[in-house]
A and B are shown apart, each in its own frame.
Chain A
Amino acid sequence: MALLDLPLRVVLYEGSGAVSVDADSRLAAVNALLERGFAVTRAGSERPLAPADATPLLVVGRWQEEVPPTGEATAKIRWGSLDPTTVADQAEAARAEFSAPTPGAWRPWFPVIDYDRCTNCMQCLSFCLFGVYGVDDGKRIQVQNNDNCKTNCPACSRVCPEAAIMFPKYKAGPINGDVVSDSDLNREKMKIDISALLGGDVYSLLRDRSERARSRFGKERDSDKALAERQKCLTKLAALAGDIPPEVLMSLPSPEEISRKAAEAAAKAEAALAAQPPQTA
């Protein structure tokens, strides 16, 4: 399936040729569809809706006639019944028929850059070892590989000196998109200073701790005990590292690989910075 296949949209139609449904049935239908990952349009005449596009549609209603009033199905439209107990299954069937993408296959965790704040300093590109960031033709930082991002890891947002990197599903501000305060900026700067004091390379610090933890696990004979110890160490490490998930720490590449990737990222960032026009004071 092509990545850009359009997702199915479900239209709840209650206009001419169909009878209106009660609010409870409408709510049950909308809930069932949203929880299965389908976008829903509730059509009406009082306010504008976003205009139609090429998205395949399933139009559901309680039709007055057997055949929906607007005629036969076209290549991009299927008709169905506005029955809250079956509407999600109808949508699944239409989705399969159109070969539309399956929603919810990936938890959407990825950085979103606030370009009102971003100064294109490339610290995020230098920091991220997973190739999430890159630069465009104009040497501006951008998120290029969303799905390389490690779920629940907000580490790159913590190295951004301008708090310009958001993870909208993060628990707290300003990383979640909340307004950035002066104290947030000071805190972010302090984190960078702290990491510099610790050796200037956060990944090096994490890697060393992770390696020490791994070494300890290797000496354990009892697997349950080893697992317990591992969890204890990771909990401690995660606390020390902020809120970087343990599974991210444990998935860090080998020291050699880290060095290689860090050098590559730094070179990319340096090249992008060198290509920027000189700043005027």
Chain B
Amino acid sequence: MSQSTPGPQPALLYCHCQYAQVVSPEVKAAVLKKLCESNLPFEAVPDLCELSARRDPSLKRLASAGPVKIAACFPRALKWLFAAANAPLPLGATEVLNMRNQSANEVLASLFSAELRPNLPEGKVTLADAPVSSAAPTANQP
């Protein structure tokens, strides 16, 4: 398990998982409400899966911002969703809070904690050992 790391304040990223009903609406609502009440800057995206599917360049922007805490779903899924868009997350500087199996209070406590606890699965740090995606982004865009 990675150790918590002191350093610059992490950026905050929230995924609304807009196109599926797999995250509890109550958890999402509570997390987003507190984020909006916090006066902290944050990024909120409708659906990280959709961004990954179309290799959205904003994933590179989000992954290159330094330390980051992401309120979304499973760390393993997040690691490879970003990688699939050729935008690998920093392995030692990413903490994923899982709104699918953590309570809103647990997610919020970690999100607003001064500590960053990196929790992406260890393994191949970047895409160096994995194929760089040459896939076309989804064509189902108008």
Contacts and interface: CB of A to CB of B under 8 A. Distances in A.
Interface of A: 1, 3-4, 6-7, 9, 20, 23, 26-27, 30-31, 33-35, 37-55, 101-108, 110, 112-116, 134, 136-138, 140-147, 166, 168-171, 173, 176-179
A104 B76 contact: no
B93 to A, nearest CB: 12
Interface in B85-116: 100-101
Interface of B: 8-12, 16-20, 22, 32-33, 35-37, 39-47, 49-58, 60-62, 64-66, 73-81, 83-84, 100-101, 121, 123-124, 129-142
A116 B121 contact: yes
A115 B46 contact: no
Contacts of B78: 177
Contacts of A143: 84, 133, 135
- Secondary structure call for the A interface: loop
12 contacts: A3-B138, A4-B137, A9-B58, A35-B16, A39-B58, A108-B50, A112-B84, A115-B123, A115-B130, A116-B121, A147-B139, A171-B22
Contact of B50 (A47, A103, A177): A103
Contacts of B42: 41-42
Contacts of A43: 41
Nearest to A169: B20
Nearest to B82: A112
Given A106-B140, A143-B84, A47 B12 contact: yes
Contacts of A138: 131
B36 A55 contact: no
A26 B36 CA distance: 6
B80 A114 contact: yes
A178 B44 contact: no
Given A108-B53, A112-B84, A46 B32 contact: no
